Amino acid sequence: MHNIKDIRDNIDNFEKSLLKRNIKIEKANIGNLDKENRKLIQDKELLEKEKKNISKTKDQNLFEKSKEISKKIEKLSRDQSEIKIKLDTILSSLPNIPLDDVPVGKDENSNVEIKKFGEIKKFDFKPKPHFELGNSLNMLDFDLATKTTGSRFVFVKNQLALLERALSNFMLDTHINKNNYLEISPPLIANENTMYGTGQLPKFENDQFELVLDDKNDRKFLIPTAEVILTNMVKDKILQVKDLPLRFVASTPCFRKEAGSYGKDTKGMIRQHQFYKVELVSIVEPNNCNDELERMTNCATNILDLLKLPYRKMLLCTGDMGFSAEKTYDIEVWIPSENKYREISSCSSCSSFQARRMKARYKNSKNETNFVGTLNGSGLAVGRTMIAILENYQQSDGSIKVPDVLKPYMNNMEKIHNN
């Protein structure tokens, strides 16, 4: 959510910044609504003051007049709230402003590669895609999931289920013990206000799985990412500066409708309606957003370093960033069967954009109340990490070598194989 005051003072810059994201704002409309809103507030406050004075005098002769004023106030405040709702509807659907160092572009083709890491393994056989490997191991079953549930779900069995669990635990332990994140096991369901806070609502309702409840006013959603619930842990709070930064980590299932991605990544478990993800969330002083973004991204890539998986770090362009982000790094891991890099983590700074929606504030060293900065990043997407391990660690016989760092989590198993 943007601060209308900032927009008012600088509407041309605001327009320009959003244009970088291909968003055209109706400048005149916003300006008029804002003016109208303030006019009505002023009129209303004048009457309120008058009314207040009458009741202070306790003069019975003026009581009738006070009643009349009440009616006028009622009307004004109805009009005003209507205008305010219109204005807020517009403002709440506008994405965050990109930072200056974010490249401008309309889609992922304009993303900028920062650096490649790790070595791409040369296979002396044709590397198989993960779903073939999983299928022949009898440890990934997509057909069964289709039968029980529907498309874009999967049964993970046997040692791959262990691998999935091992990955979660390995990532969690690393972030908790090495990177100083606080482990959280959060609710997987969020209410409407929470979803609004991080920016999933109102604009992206179609991507969410909503629960069917008896009470239509009580709306609840399966979380599309733990970012939603972890970031909202500071909703409606006024924190002390000494409490910051807060760093949370959770491994949770994530649920996404993937609306509009028909025909995209239909094979395998690249794009699923449900997947595990280890999520990092930081709550910081707004000035520290940039440093924290670098730190967080390093925490994420550190996992790939330890797993010895090749990857590259991308700086997303304006057109490819998420709604709430001011700057985003994607980490892409090497997928041998596709002969390309695929997103495995996305780390974003959201400045005070989400904080303003959540009313998450802190008192700075001067004792002034201010909105916090929020960041979120995957550290990492567990399902896609499993894909990367299957493909990068595959052997010619279809077995999968277990990465060294995971062995302690998998009964010191050397290889995942069929019998």
Is 413 a binding residue for RNA by CB under 7 A? The answer is no
- The Cα-based distances of 132 to 91, 258, 292, 335 in angstroms read 47, 23, 39, 14
Would you say 38 or 157 has its CB closer to RNA?
Answer: 38
Is 45 a binding residue for RNA by CB under 7 A? The answer is yes
Would you say 236 or 265 has its CB closer to RNA?
Answer: 236
Size of the site for RNA (CB under 7 A): 29
Sign of CA dihedral 362, 364, 368, 374: negative
> Closest separation between CB of residue 81 and RNA, Å?
9
How far apart are alpha carbons 415 and 399 in whole angstroms? Answer: 7
Alpha helices in 142-252 (DSSP H): 142-148, 158-173, 192-198, 226-231
Is 58 a binding residue for RNA by CB under 7 A? The answer is yes
> Closest separation between CB of residue 46 and RNA, Å?
7
Q: DSSP code of 58?
A: T
Which residue among 1, 54, 230, 347 contacts RNA (CB under 7 A)?
54
Is 68 a binding residue for RNA by CB under 7 A? The answer is no
Instruction: Give yes or no for a contact between 36 and 83, defined as CB atoms under 8 angstroms apart.
Output: yes
Of residues 255 through 294, those in contact with RNA by CB under 7 A are: none
Would you say 100 or 215 has its CB closer to RNA?
Answer: 215
Is 70 a binding residue for RNA by CB under 7 A? The answer is yes
Length, in residues, of the chain? 419
> Closest separation between CB of residue 14 and RNA, Å?
15
> 3-state secondary structure string, 93-137?
CCCCCCCCCCCCCCCHHHCEEEEEECCCCCCCCCCCCHHHHHHHH
- The Cα-based distances of 116 to 310, 312, 322, 364 in angstroms read 8, 4, 23, 39
Give Cα 29 to chain centroid, integer Å: 30
Backbone angles phi, psi at 74, to 5 degrees: -55, -45
Would you say 93 or 369 has its CB closer to RNA?
Answer: 369
Of 18-26, 58-66, 339-347, 385-393, the segment contacting RNA by CB under 7 A is: 58-66
Is 89 a binding residue for RNA by CB under 7 A? The answer is no
Would you say 373 or 379 has its CB closer to RNA?
Answer: 373
Of residues 364 through 383, those in contact with RNA by CB under 7 A are: 367-369
Of 14-22, 51-59, 225-233, 261-269, the segment contacting RNA by CB under 7 A is: 51-59
> Closest separation between CB of residue 149 and RNA, Å?
22
How far apart are alpha carbons 250 and 379 in whole angstroms? Answer: 9
How far apart are alpha carbons 208 and 190 in whole angstroms? Answer: 11
Is 104 a binding residue for RNA by CB under 7 A? The answer is no
Is 52 a binding residue for RNA by CB under 7 A? The answer is yes
**Tokens standing for residue 335:** 């997928």
- Taking residues 208 to 247 in sequence order and writing x for each that binds RNA by CB under 7 A, - otherwise, the string is -------x--x-------------------x-x-------
Is 55 a binding residue for RNA by CB under 7 A? The answer is yes
- The Cα-based distances of 206 to 261, 275, 362 in angstroms read 12, 18, 33
How far apart are alpha carbons 281 and 108 in whole angstroms? Answer: 24
Which residue among 13, 63, 147, 415 contacts RNA (CB under 7 A)?
63
Of 53-61, 162-170, 320-328, 409-417, the segment contacting RNA by CB under 7 A is: 53-61
- The Cα-based distances of 158 to 34, 103, 139, 141 in angstroms read 60, 44, 6, 11
- Can you give the binding site for RNA, defined by CB under 7 A? 3-5, 38, 41-42, 44-45, 48-49, 51-52, 54-56, 58, 63, 66-67, 70, 215, 218, 238, 240, 361, 363, 367-369
